[in-house]
């Protein structure tokens, strides 16, 4: 699990929320597949609507240009973000995201390696509505400020607890990584973050940094599946 801070500014979140207020919404259960459909109880913005599609493309661009997302996921393909809304009593029970998804409007398919939730509501706007992810260290409960996002393995069993007061807005998307092996992807993320920290500290010689960059990119060449 990797938290992405301020992928959207407060002003951008406000703009998204204003525009989504005028968008058509439908039963989110209609977009779920397999066993997930029986435990999904929320609303989802109509992805075919022009306004919703524009917002999705804006967020898609932001995701693709956010360094920490790229470092964490090394994305090869990104599913257009979907906007969801949870009102009182609505929830999404434990489920695993579909392993293979068809990208809307295309013949392309995407293997879901990483899932990403971008929060569009402040935590104080609603009660409940935590994203709960089962990990090897137990259940992790996540409720982030508006504009923040979390990236986590799509293979994880996860749920959104029932909203008991207010409304919870969020955007979700999935990414197919160039590196399918989870452990290799995690090691590359740690290596890249170490390199970025060394650059910020500016205490490492250019030769050493070049060597680290060389190792990092050669590992990607070795393991990337394109």
Of the pLDDT bands very low, low, confident and very high (cuts 50, 70, 90), residue 31 is: confident
* Amino acid 10: pLDDT: 96
pLDDT digits (tens, 9 = 90+) for 109-158: 999 999 999 999 999 999 999 999 998 888 899 999 999 999 999 999 99
CA–CA separation, 108 vs 61, rounded Å? Answer: 19
Q: Is 209 helix (H, G, I), strand (E, B) or coil?
A: helix
The Cα–Cα gap between 155 and 113 comes to 7
- Average pLDDT for 77-105: 92
- As annotated, the binding site for Fe cation includes 95, 97, 158
The stretch 33-58 carries a mean pLDDT of 88
pLDDT score of 150: 97
CATH superfamily ID and name for 2-177: q2cbj1_9rhob like domain (2.60.120.620)
Q: What is the mean pLDDT of the chain?
A: 93
Residues in binding site: 95, 97, 158, 168
Are domains 2-177 and 182-223 of this chain identical in fold? no
The CATH number of the domain covering residues in 182-223: 4.10.860
Q: What angle do CA 130, 133, 138 make, to 5 degrees?
A: 115
Half-sphere exposure (Cβ direction) of 6: Cα atoms closer than 13 Å: 3
Task: Say whether pLDDT at 32 is over 80.
Answer: no
Looking at residue 125, its pLDDT comes to 96
Annotated binding residues for 2-oxoglutarate: 168
pLDDT digits (tens, 9 = 90+) for 53-76: 999 999 999 999 999 999 999 999
Helix/strand/coil for 11? helix
Contact 146, 107 (CB under 8 A): no
Residue 196 confidence (pLDDT): 92
Domain boundaries, the chain: 2-177, 182-223
pLDDT at 105: 84
For residue 37, pLDDT beyond 80: no
pLDDT, position 28: 83
Q: What is the pLDDT of residue 138?
A: 86
């Amino acid at each position: 699990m990797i938290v992405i801070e301020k992928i959207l500014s407060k002003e951008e979140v406000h703009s998204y929320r204003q525009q989504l207020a005028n968008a058509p919404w439908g039963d989110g259960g209609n977009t779920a597949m397999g066993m997930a459909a029986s435990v999904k109880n929320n609303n989802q913005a109509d992805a075919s609507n022009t306004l919703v599609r524009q917002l999705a493309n804006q967020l898609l661009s932001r995701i693709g240009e956010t360094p920490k997302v790229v470092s964490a996921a090394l994305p090869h393909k990104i599913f257009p973000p979907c906007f969801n809304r949870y009102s009182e009593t609505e929830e999404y029970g434990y489920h695993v995201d579909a392993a293979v998804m068809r990208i809307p409007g295309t013949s392309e398919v995407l293997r879901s390696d990483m899932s990403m939730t971008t929060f569009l509501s402040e935590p104080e706007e609603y009660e409940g509505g935590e994203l709960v992810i089962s990990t090897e260290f137990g259940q992790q409960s996540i409720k982030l400020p508006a504009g923040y996002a979390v990236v986590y393995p799509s293979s994880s069993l996860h749920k959104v607890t029932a909203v008991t007061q207010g409304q919870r807005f969020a955007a979700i998307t999935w990414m197919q990584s160039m590196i399918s092996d989870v452990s290799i992807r995690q090691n590359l993320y740690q290596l890249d973050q170490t390199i970025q920290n060394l650059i910020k500290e500016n205490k490492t010689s250019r030769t050493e940094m070049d060597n680290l960059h060389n190792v990092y990119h050669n590992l990607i060449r070795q393991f990337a599946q394109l």
